[in-house]
Structure 1
């Protein structure tokens, strides 16, 4: 996954954790606006989320952040 998307995911996870605590869950849709204005990026994150890591629809933001920071 491109670094720009990795940076976006970490920033959004940090924001959600700060607002709602370490137990907050996210889906890969949390990293995009409600518009379909970035279909390639959405599919890139979806592939990482679903195919590569086989994550459930909602996952703890802390876990997602740790995976991204580990370069996985």
Structure 2
């Protein structure tokens, strides 16, 4: 995934954790608007979520944040 979407994922995770607590779960749809304005990026994130990491539909935001953190 590119740097911009990684940054967006981290921001969304931090926002959800801040507002709902450490146990909040989310799906990869949380990183996109409710319209399909960038299907290529949506599919890239979906592939990473589903095919590469075999994540459940909902996962803890803290887990996702750690997985995409910049190394």
User: Which ranges in structure 1 are unaligned for 5 or more consecutive residues?
Assistant: none
- Mapped partners of 1:22, 1:70: distance in 2: 20
What pairs up with 1:35-50 in 2 under 5 angstroms? 35-50=35-50
Structure 1 runs of 4+ with >6 Å offset: none
Matched, 1:69 2:57: no
User: Which ranges in structure 2 are unaligned for 5 or more consecutive residues?
Assistant: none
Q: Provide the residue aligned with 2:6 in structure 1.
A: 6
Alpha-carbon shift at residue 69 of structure 1 (Å): 1.0
Alpha-carbon shift at residue 70 of structure 1 (Å): 5.8
- Mapped partners of 1:70, 1:3: distance in 2: 8
Q: How many residues align?
A: 71
- Mapped partners of 2:38, 2:21: distance in 1: 28
**TM-score, scaled to structure 1:** 0.95
Q: Provide the residue aligned with 2:15 in structure 1.
A: 15
**TM-score, scaled to structure 2:** 0.96
Cα RMSD, aligned residues only: 1.0
